[in-house]
Amino acid sequence: MPSIGDNVKANPDAEFASDAQLQWSPDDERNVALAKGYIFTSRATHNHLASVEIVERLQKALTWEGEPNRFVVIATYGHGKSHLALALANYFGMPEGSDVVTGILNNIAHAVDQPAEAQKFRDFKANHAPYLVVRLHGAEMKSLHQQLISGLETALKECPQTSDESLPFWFNAAESFLKGLDGEQLEKANGYLDGHGTEVNILLRRVRDRDTTAHELCRQVFRHLIGTPPDFGGDIGPGKAVEWAADEFCGEGKPFPGMVILFDEFSAFIRNYASGAVVHADGVLQGLLDAGIRACVDAIPPAQRKLVTDHDAFGYFARRYGLDVVGAVIPSQSTSAQPSARELRDLVRTIESEHVRAVFPERSVNPKLAEAIAAETGARADLRLYGDTLGPAGSSGATYLAMEQANADAIVAGLSGGRVRCPIAALNRS
């Protein structure tokens, strides 16, 4: 069994800290010392990643088109995930030559065995300006929309080149409108809002907190007072906000080469979401899941995105995520139907001509026929999908979101020959 010494090299300039917080970057007095003190590892036990490998994967995601760009880091409580997040925020967000980046690079060099390996990280920092780093935290009692908008604004304010920028969304217009209410209009607005259990000052606070759920109520107040709908601009979701910031500020000739979004304590966000402790827009977890699965599928060349399943029941999944269904062992949506000998011969020819890598049996269906076809064609059939029913409690398919993620992980692993996986594991806790 590997020991700690096999994975970690003693470093007198680094120190493990279990109480580091991502939000201490970049200005808290504890930030630099903690980020410089993170102990990097260059080796890990089976099926795990060393922290140096995580940094390397993030670098590839930022610079190589087609690389997966969404990652979930899972570790036991107290094992330094937040400390790593703080180090990453500084590594990607601060310039080469700064005290904190120099310290992080020295610690990486101490962890790796070969100087050439350490040089790759120095070269990355030398060739890339600081990234726009947006920091989110799962324990914040705010919706994902609020956190993302606030985090994006904060990140822009922290950079001298963008410190005067404001997001061109509806918040500023709504805030100006509410701040400008006085006298009879303020009384009338409060009278209207009393029927909604609130008042102007509270609504104004929600707007300043970037609470996107306040958008419609602001519009209603305006219409009540003025008689016509306002021109605040439409509500904005997290995806649109990120797209706007990337288009406006990231790329050649712009302030940042790209954007890094770090979400610390994501499992706390999932718990709050599931318990209803924080109100979120409908479908926010489905949106996160969709984005994650699409990123996994995008890492597979289009010519390899060919799906063969037990029966014709995954068309919706395929259309949603850009897969091509080229056949089914049972060409019907009913698992009780039986294929003819001709249909099986046709399917074998299709699998061979389309160079399909995997046939996916369902967990609720006897896999023998799918396995026989796979054996005849050289495909694999060891990755099973959840179809008509959820899995039992405690399984990887115990909830709808978990089932979708488990199916996605199996499919991308099969289509890519195991090169791509889809570990959106935190969603399984919802």
Q: Tell me the C-alpha distance between 220 and 198, whole Å.
A: 13
* Amino acid sitting at position 343: E
Closest to 259 (Cα-Cα) out of 15, 25, 89: 89
DSSP state of 213: G
| Structure-token match 């709908």, residue found | 229
Amino acid at 132: L
Q: Report residue 91 CA to chain centroid gap.
A: 19
d(CA 93, CA 25): 9
Least confident span in 81-85, 167-171, 183-187, 381-385? 167-171
Contact (Cβ atoms closer than 8 angstroms) between residue 353 and residue 383:
no
- Give the pLDDT score at 210: 82
Q: What tokens does 303 get?
A: 């010519």
**pLDDT band, very low/low/confident/very high, at 429 (cuts 50, 70, 90):** very low
Using N-to-C axis directions, what is the helix angle for 266-275 and 284-298, rounded to 10°?
140
Q: Which value, in Å, is the radius of gyration of the alpha carbons in the chain?
A: 26
Distance (Å, whole) CA 196 – CA 104: 51
Please tell me which residue, 419 or 167, carries the higher pLDDT value. Answer: 419
Task: Give the pLDDT confidence of 168-194 residue by residue, as tens digits.
Answer: 778 888 999 999 999 999 999 999 999
For residues 118-146, one letter each, b for 16 or more C-beta atoms within 10 angstroms of the residue's C-beta and e for the rest, the string is beebbebbeebebbbbbbbbbebebbbbb
More confident of the two residues 225 and 314: 225
Strands 324-330 and 359-360: unpaired
pLDDT tops 80 at residue 270 = no
pLDDT value at residue 228 = 80
User: At 24, which amino acid appears?
Assistant: W
At 411, which helix (H) or strand (E)? helix 400-415
Domain ranges of the chain: 4-160+251-287, 170-226, 301-429
Of 225-229, 275-279, 288-292, the least confident: 275-279
Q: Which tokens in the block code for residue 164? A: 């005067």
Q: How confident is the model at residue 46 (pLDDT cuts 50, 70, 90)?
A: low
**For range 289-295, the mean pLDDT:** 80
Considering all CA atoms of the chain, what is the largest pairwise distance in Å, rounded to the nearest integer?
A: 83
Task: Check pLDDT > 60 for residue 141.
Answer: yes
CA angle 31, 36, 251 (to 5 degrees): 80
DSSP 23-37: GGTTTSTTHHHHHHT
Q: Any residues with CB less than 8 A from the CB of 176 and at least 6 apart, and which?
A: none
Cα separation, 18 vs 147, in Å, equals 24
Query: DSSP of 310-367, one letter per residue?
Result: EES--HHHHHHHT-EEEEEEESSS-TT----HHHHHHHHHHHHHTT--BEE-BTTS--
Strand ranges for 117-204 from DSSP E: 132-137
Helix axes 200-208, 215-226, angle to 10 degrees: 140
Which residue's structure tokens are 């917080």?
21
Between the alpha carbon of residue 221 and those of residues 169, 174, 199, 218, 359, the distances in Å are: 18, 10, 11, 5, 57
- Which residues are paired to 328 by β-bridges? 309
Mean pLDDT of the chain: 84
CATH 3.40.50.1980 fits 301-429, yes or no: yes
Write 159-163 long-range contacts (CB < 8 A, 24+): 159/130, 159/132, 159/255, 159/256, 161/255, 162/132, 162/249, 162/255
Q: For the ranges 279-283, 292-296, 328-332, 416-420, which has the lowest average pLDDT?
A: 279-283
In the chain, the percentage of residues whose pLDDT exceeds 90 is 48
